[in-house]
Amino acid sequence: MGDPSGNNKIIIHQTQPYSGSLPRQDFVDNDFDALIYQKGYDVFHEKAILCPCKSKVSDNQPSCKNCAGTGWIFLDKVETRMLLFSMNLQTKYKDWSEEKLGTVSISCMDKDKISYMDKITLIDSDSIHKQIIFPVYLSGKLFSYLNYNAKEIISCFLFRGVDRKLQKLELDIDFTIENNVFYLNDKFYVSEETLYSISITYKHFNTYHVLDTTRDVINSFVLNEITGKEESKRLPLSGVGRKAHYILDPSKFNSSFLLDNTTLTEDDSYKC
């Protein structure tokens, strides 16, 4: 085995302690993976990468159509299963604030290794989200980004002034939605400088970003019943995630249509 440090130093191997009289206990990686697959949620896992639009002397560029100035790009969506558990901060008095909401514990198979800022989207679940959006005119469209991909619109109202009633907007008549992009109908266009403020409530897929990998590596030596030799097996990993809208502000995306940097193809699906 080579030197993992890459320094090609001489390696002295520690003497193995005697354990012949003790019963052998092995973690079986297939059993852990089976538990996650049988009891887990169907999810989409998207890898997060740092956007290289940052320079040595400046932060990420707001005009970048890859990350919209957030510094993060999400690509290569893979469908898999993971275990997600709600987490609750146990205090004597409940101090409700946005900093303490929407936190989950995530367990995944080693082949689905998660890392900081990866995006996890639950497929068979939904939550209700309320949001104020500010559509802008760009490339011939009045549009705004929602925090999440909308599954069902519950209500949508346009602000028309402090002394006027809100105008109720109807889906497919006054606006349309494609994934998480809200398009206001062209009939509302007055000028590129016109300001719009819309309150929208909708159901969405639960989406989280990984903030911490509480168990980044876990290996266990398992006895191969065929060869009789010990083999190192990688076991499931775990991390902590938070609701996506607490991490990134999609309102920053309104300055441009984002580019898709996906590198996976249909031929890659059988490899996952």
In the chain, where the domains are located: 24-125+206-259, 126-204
* DSSP bridge pairs for 128: 203
Query: What's the whole-model pTM score?
Result: 0.70
> Among candidates 236, 272, 210, 214, which has minimal Cα distance to 48?
210
| Each residue's pLDDT tens digit, 117-144 | 999 999 888 889 999 999 999 888 999 9
Q: Residue 5 above 60 pLDDT?
A: no
- Whether residue 209 contacts residue 74, with contact meaning beta carbons closer than 8 Å, is answered with no
CA–CA separation, 251 vs 272, rounded Å? 33
| Each residue's pLDDT tens digit, 202-222 | 999 889 999 888 766 555 555
Range name among 69-78, 169-178, 229-238 with the lowest pLDDT average: 229-238
Residue appearing with tokens 């109908």: 185
Q: Does the CA dihedral 69-106-121-48 come out positive or negative? A: positive
Burial of 5-27, coded b for 16+ CB within 10 Å and e otherwise, reads eeeeeeeeeeeeeeeeeeeeeee
Residue 167 has which token pair?
């105008």
Per-residue pLDDT, averaged over 58-85, amounts to: 85
Q: Nearest 10 degrees: CA dihedral of 118, 123, 125, 129? A: 60
- Whether residue 67 contacts residue 257, with contact meaning beta carbons closer than 8 Å, is answered with no
The per-residue pLDDT for 186 is: 93
| Each residue's pLDDT tens digit, 162-207 | 999 999 999 999 999 998 899 999 999 999 888 999 999 999 988 9
- Alpha-helical (H) ranges within 139-222 are none
The per-residue pLDDT for 172 is: 96
Classified as helix, coil or strand, 268 is: helix
CA–CA separation, 61 vs 45, rounded Å? 26
Long-range CB pairs of 55-64, under 8 A, 24+ apart, other chains included: 62/252, 62/255, 63/255, 63/256, 64/256
> Of the ranges 18-27, 110-119, 148-157, 227-236, which is most confident?
148-157
